[in-house]
Amino acid sequence: MSKKISNIYNNKLKYMLLNCTENATKGPIVPEMYLRARVRLFASMHRFHLCGKKASVEVEHLYAIPYSRYYTLREMLVSTEQEIEADEDDEILKQTFRDMMSNKVHVSSESLENTFFKEIEALKSPEIFKKYKELDYRIHHQELNEDEKLRFIECTAETDIFLAKKLGGDAQKFMSKKESILKFMQDYRFVNGWITAGGIALFTLTSSFVGMMN
């Protein structure tokens, strides 16, 4: 039974990771859809965390989600001069969020959210921290005006490559060789009518091609 449950979480996490990677790879081609997808990603932070804890496959890069969320808030506030750009150590920030997502099981979304904001609170003055809380609330409750929506897209898009690389790498751990090759071909527009199951199987047996996936 436990194996069956872990397989359910494996599949959930796999598809969530793939959806996020797809959105980050395409970028804001359709701004409203991109905005909604990124807000959903930030709001799903606890779901990613819980699935990561219950899946049988260990993932390493879920910290990219809170990092992107924090980065987006910070850049929005800096860009409107509500905060002065600080000299923060990027690697320490990433490690902080890595610990948050992997070292403890947060049984509720509220627990994880509280930890997320405690980390921000430790970096900011009370006045600036309040702005982070207010902006995050308005983002998740769809209260941004049109200028703020554009600013959100511009700021969060700066983490697209990071999200695609890190979460895409985690997603690969759940995929068979055949799935990985098919995704590679789709991403690089190699999929056309001539692709058959036999053709994919041939690529699967070609070690040099598989090496491109690693």
Q: How far apart are CA 197 and CA 43, in angstroms?
A: 38
Q: Percent of the chain having pLDDT more than 70? A: 79
Shared domain for 102 and 185, answered yes or no, is no
Is the pLDDT at 25 greater than 80? The verdict is yes
Shared domain for 188 and 169, answered yes or no, is no
Shared domain for 117 and 187, answered yes or no, is no
SS3 103: coil
Q: Percent of the chain having pLDDT more than 90? A: 74
Residue for token digits 């494996």?
10
Residue 209's domain spans which residues?
Answer: 176-214
Q: How many helices (H) and strands (E) does the chain have?
A: 12, 0
Q: Which two tokens stand for residue 81?
A: 């001069």
Q: How far apart are CA 110 and CA 177, in angstroms?
A: 38
Shared domain for 102 and 183, answered yes or no, is no
Shared domain for 102 and 180, answered yes or no, is no
Segment 104-127 shows an average pLDDT of: 96
Shared domain for 161 and 198, answered yes or no, is no
Shared domain for 196 and 146, answered yes or no, is no
Is the pLDDT at 40 greater than 90? The verdict is yes
Segment 35-61 shows an average pLDDT of: 96
Segment 92-102 shows an average pLDDT of: 96
Q: pLDDT of 54-81, one tens digit each? A: 999 999 999 999 999 999 999 999 999 9
Shared domain for 169 and 209, answered yes or no, is no
Is the pLDDT at 195 greater than 90? The verdict is no
Segment 187-193 shows an average pLDDT of: 45
pLDDT value at residue 210: 43
Count up the domains in the chain and report the number. 2
Q: How far apart are CA 93 and CA 205, in angstroms?
A: 42
Average pLDDT of the chain? 85
Cβ atoms within 10 Å, residue 167: 25
Instruction: Supply the pTM of this predicted model.
Output: 0.82
pLDDT value at residue 103: 85
Shared domain for 49 and 119, answered yes or no, is yes
Shared domain for 9 and 65, answered yes or no, is yes
Shared domain for 116 and 181, answered yes or no, is no
Shared domain for 72 and 169, answered yes or no, is yes
